[in-house]
């Protein structure tokens, strides 16, 4: 098993990565359960796929199953969960475990942040996206009709248990979507990691010998960035760098209609547009763009529009992105592979970039 650490003074925590992380977690929780009440909030699809693991956990704590899917990340579900915790006698000293993908991690994390003004929680991510992205860093949220993740809190977990065996049942399309975030991590500041992904004979998949190492590299990168800028307040170059591909990507997601394009598929298209924009500024070569596009394609990710897109609507939605600062477009761009930076965006250039992408 590999261990990485997120260093945040009194709120530092470990990330355990490997094919035995679940067993290790169960062992730790067996001890913890002797002195504190525990509760697990779990994705219903994960419970159905892993009855033995659910049985093992249920000997230690009650398990609250949540219907799979983004719809569960709602204020209503948040309220219901808080009521269930109260009914179970969960108190300030108790701890909550979140077992599932980003939906469960975000929802249960937000419940843990708010219930009794904050209780401890642990992440047990079961999707690739949750492993490389959402389970680390402490961002928790639910959606409201006005927008995704508009209500939330920063609340760091006490530990993250990343068991790669879960990925064996993850649908291929979901795995590919997680790969977009993993490739993004390498593009931000780790050209060597990008080279390693590029040189793999077969692309990463469940059971791949490089999988745990790749997860560890992505988590180490995220941990460094989060340790330096936990609440994304740095004026430039901090946690916002993790948004590489996201401003264009969110515009794709919104125009496609939420749910029609997976987040990672939109990020892949967003990364391509970031590179096109960077090329217009003379920052990145055709050869480097070609390398990134071929890695994305090799991992079953789209590098062309995967559905009809409207350029004007996309640009408009980019101005309403959460990342916009005082009405200004903010973009993460690339000076090359492993060299991301942030700057104000030019709306004309952004429009030309979207037109170029749509015209592919
Ligand atoms: N907090 C953050 O920093 C952060 C970062 C990125 C994304 N997010 C959020 O994460 C969410 C997306 O996360 P996601 O992609 O993990 O989606 P998800 O949680 O909806 O999981 C995707 C699908 O996979 C299923 N699933 C989960 N684990 C499985 C397994 N092991 N085997 C088979 N099926 C499994 C789920 O039931 C679901 O249908 C979004 O709500 C997004 O806003 C949060």
> For 154-213, what is each residue's pLDDT tens digit?
999 999 999 999 999 999 999 999 999 999 999 999 999 999 999 999 999 999 999 999
Q: Quick one: pLDDT at residue 271?
A: 98
pLDDT at 258: 73
243 is catalytic: yes
Q: How confident is the model at residue 98 (pLDDT cuts 50, 70, 90)?
A: very high
- Write the CB contacts of 155 (distance below 8 Å, at least 6 apart in sequence): 109, 110, 112, 113, 118, 121, 138, 140
Identify which of 43, 138, 232 to mutate to test ligand 1's pocket (most ligand atoms within 8 A of the CB): 43
Reference 270, options 235, 295, 227, 303; nearest CA is 303
The pLDDT value recorded for residue 93 is: 97
Integer CA distances (angstroms), 70 to 46, 74, 147, 213, in order: 15, 8, 12, 29
Q: What is the pLDDT of residue 328?
A: 85
Q: Please indicate whether residue 146 or residue 154 has the higher confidence score (pLDDT).
A: 154
User: What is the C-alpha to C-alpha distance for residues 248 and 266, in angstroms, rounded to an integer?
Assistant: 8
Q: Please tell me the distance between residue 339's alpha carbon and the centre of ligand 1 in angstroms.
A: 28
Say if residue 323's pLDDT is above 80: no
What is residue 333's predicted lDDT score, i.e. its pLDDT?
97
CA of 74 from ligand 1 middle (Å) equals: 14
Mean pLDDT of the 207-235 span: 94
Active-site residue, selected from the candidate residues 37, 53, 246, 254: 246
Tell me the pLDDT of the chain averaged across its residues: 95
Give the residue whose CA is nearest to atom 42 of ligand 1: 102
Q: What is the pLDDT of residue 200?
A: 97
Please write the tens of the pLDDT for every residue from 259-291: 789 999 999 999 999 999 999 999 999 999 999
pLDDT at 322: 65
Catalytic (active site) residue 117: yes
Catalytic residue of the set 37, 217, 239, 279: 239
Q: Which protein residue's CA is at the shortest distance from atom 20 of ligand 1?
A: 69
| Distance of CA 326 from the midpoint of ligand 1 (Å) | 31
Query: What is the Å distance from ligand 1's center to 357 Cα?
Result: 27
The torsion defined by the Cα of 234, 146, 175 and 15, in degrees rounded to 10, comes to 40
The closest-lying atom of ligand 1 relative to the alpha carbon of residue 44 is 37
Check pLDDT > 90 for residue 135: yes
Q: What is residue 258's DSSP assignment? A: B
Lowest mean pLDDT among 44-48, 94-98, 190-194, 228-232: 228-232
Residue nearest to atom 10 of ligand 1 (CA): 102
181 catalytically annotated? yes
Question: Domains of the chain, with CATH numbers?
Answer: 2-169 (3.40.50.1970), 177-358 (1.20.1090.10)
- The pLDDT of residue 325 is 63
Q: What is the pLDDT of residue 101?
A: 98
- 102 CA to centre of ligand 1 in angstroms: 4
In sequence order, the 6+-apart residues with CB closer than 8 A to the CB of 121 are 95, 96, 97, 98, 108, 109, 112, 155, 157, 158
What's the mean pLDDT in 218-239? 92
Check whether 225 has a pLDDT greater than 80. yes
Which pTM was predicted?
0.96
pLDDT at position 236 is 84
| Catalytic option among 4, 181, 265, 342 | 181
Distance in angstroms between the alpha carbons of the first and the last residue of the chain: 44
In angstroms, the CA 198 to CA 147 distance is 36
**Ligand 1 pocket list (CB less than 6 A):** 43, 45-46, 49, 68-70, 73, 100-104, 106, 126-127, 129-130, 133-134, 137, 139, 148-149, 166, 169-170, 174, 263
Q: Which two tokens stand for residue 98?
A: 């979140």
């Amino acid at each position: 098993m590999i261990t990485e650490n997120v260093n945040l003074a009194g709120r530092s925590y470990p990330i355990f990565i490997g094919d035995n992380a679940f067993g290790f977690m169960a062992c730790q929780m067996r001890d913890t359960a002797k002195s504190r009440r525990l509760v697990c909030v779990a994705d219903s699809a994960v419970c159905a796929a892993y009855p033995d693991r659910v049985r093992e956990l249920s000997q230690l704590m009650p398990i609250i199953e949540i219907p799979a899917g983004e719809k569960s990340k709602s204020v209503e579900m948040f309220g219901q969960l808080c009521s269930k915790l109260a009914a179970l006698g969960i108190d300030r000293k108790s701890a909550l475990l979140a077992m599932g993908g980003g939906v469960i991690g975000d929802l249960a994390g937000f419940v843990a942040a708010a219930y009794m003004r904050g209780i401890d929680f642990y992440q047990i991510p079961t999707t690739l996206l949750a492993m490389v992205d959402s389970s680390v860093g402490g961002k928790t949220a639910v959606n409201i009709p006005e927008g995704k993740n508009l209500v939330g809190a920063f609340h760091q977990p006490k530990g993250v248990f990343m068991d790669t065996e879960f990925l064996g049942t993850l649908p291929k399309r979901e795995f590919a979507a997680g790969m977009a975030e993993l490739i993004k991590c390498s593009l931000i500041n780790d050209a060597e990691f990008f080279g390693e992904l590029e040189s793999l004979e077969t692309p990463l998949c469940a059971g791949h010998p490089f999988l745990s190492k790749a997860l560890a590299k992505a988590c180490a990168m995220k941990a460094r960035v989060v340790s330096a800028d936990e609440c994304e307040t740095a004026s430039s170059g901090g946690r916002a760098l993790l948004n590489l591909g996201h401003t264009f990507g969110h515009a794709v997601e919104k125009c496609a209609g939420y749910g029609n394009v997976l987040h990672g598929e939109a990020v892949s298209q967003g990364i391509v547009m970031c590179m096109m924009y960077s090329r217009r500024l003379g920052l990145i070569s055709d050869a480097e763009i070609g390398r990134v596009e071929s890695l994305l394609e090799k991992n079953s990710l789209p590098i062309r529009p995967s559905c009809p897109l409207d350029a004007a609507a996309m640009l408009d939605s980019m101005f309403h992105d959460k990342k916009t600062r005082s009405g200004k477009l903010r973009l993460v761009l690339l000076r090359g592979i492993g060299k991301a930076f942030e700057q104000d965006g030019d709306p004309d250039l952004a429009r030309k970039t979207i037109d170029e992408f749509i015209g592919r």
